[in-house]
Structure 1
Amino acid sequence: MLQYSVNEWESHGLNRYGQEKRKWYFQCPNCLQIQSVEQMLKEGYPPDLAYSYCMNCHYEAKKGTFGKGKIVQVNQSNKIEVFDFA
């Protein structure tokens, strides 16, 4: 599984979807549902859950992404597994 710094991961999002993060899409590795940050906000979820929680099947990235996600190094001692971009 690929590992990125926060800046590298955000660069991938910017290159793929542009500056407006509400338009970024992520895919749940469990049910393959695709959701955007904007959809999460409309449903009342915090925007940062778009890459770590599936609204459809309630799966959480912290349970693992079956090799389909990414690892983001938040700081020197903290890594998180996230859903991949859709």
Structure 2
Amino acid sequence: MSRKTLTLQEWRSEAEPKFGKDVKKWKFKCPSCGESQTLQEFIDAKIEEPTKKFYYSCIGRWVEKRGCKWTLGGLLQIHETEVISEEGDKIPVFEFSEV
């Protein structure tokens, strides 16, 4: 599988026309179950360290009756996009959701 690799700025440039500059409103789609989620939903659910999870782990890990328990930190790598962090690390991310 070939993956798309974006700089942090490129990734932001893709998101802002779709969702605006407020990162809390950016929508991501779990590659396993298709659940759509936002940072604001992680904050509202009082999930610890939401800014490190909302683009990487399905909200179903913490919220019952939502999504699944998928995370991109596991053995199976089904993500399509990686973002290069400011430190130069490649971070797997969920795709942006159209919903």
TM over 0.5: yes
Distance 1:82 1:31 in 2: 15
Identity of aligned residues (%): 25
Which position in structure 1 is the counterpart of 2:78? Answer: 66
Q: Does 1:40 align with 2:42?
A: yes
Q: Does 1:51 align with 2:55?
A: yes
State how many pairs are aligned. 85
Does structure 2 retain, via aligned residues, the 8 Å contact 1:53–1:61? yes
Distance 1:21 1:74 in 2: 16
Q: After the TM superposition, which of the residue ranges 69-78 and 2-11 deviates more from structure 2?
A: 69-78
Q: Return the index of the structure with the highest Cα Rg.
A: 2
Partner SS, residue 7 of structure 1: helix
Q: Which residue identity is paired with 1:47? A: T
Residue 77 (structure 1) shift: 4.2
1:20 to 19, 22, 25: 22
RMSD (Å) for aligned C-alpha atoms: 1.7
Q: Which residue identity is paired with 1:30? A: S
Which position in structure 1 is the counterpart of 2:6? Answer: 4
Report the structure, 1 or 2, having the larger helix content. 1
Structure 1 length-normalised TM: 0.86
Which ranges in structure 2 are unaligned for 5 or more consecutive residues?
61-67
Does structure 2 retain, via aligned residues, the 8 Å contact 1:52–1:82? yes
Residue 65 (structure 1) shift: 4.8
Distance 2:58 2:4 in 1: 21
Report the structure, 1 or 2, having the larger strand content. 1
> Which runs of structure 1 show a deviation greater than 4 angstroms over 4 or more consecutive aligned residues?
none
Residue 71 (structure 1) shift: 0.7
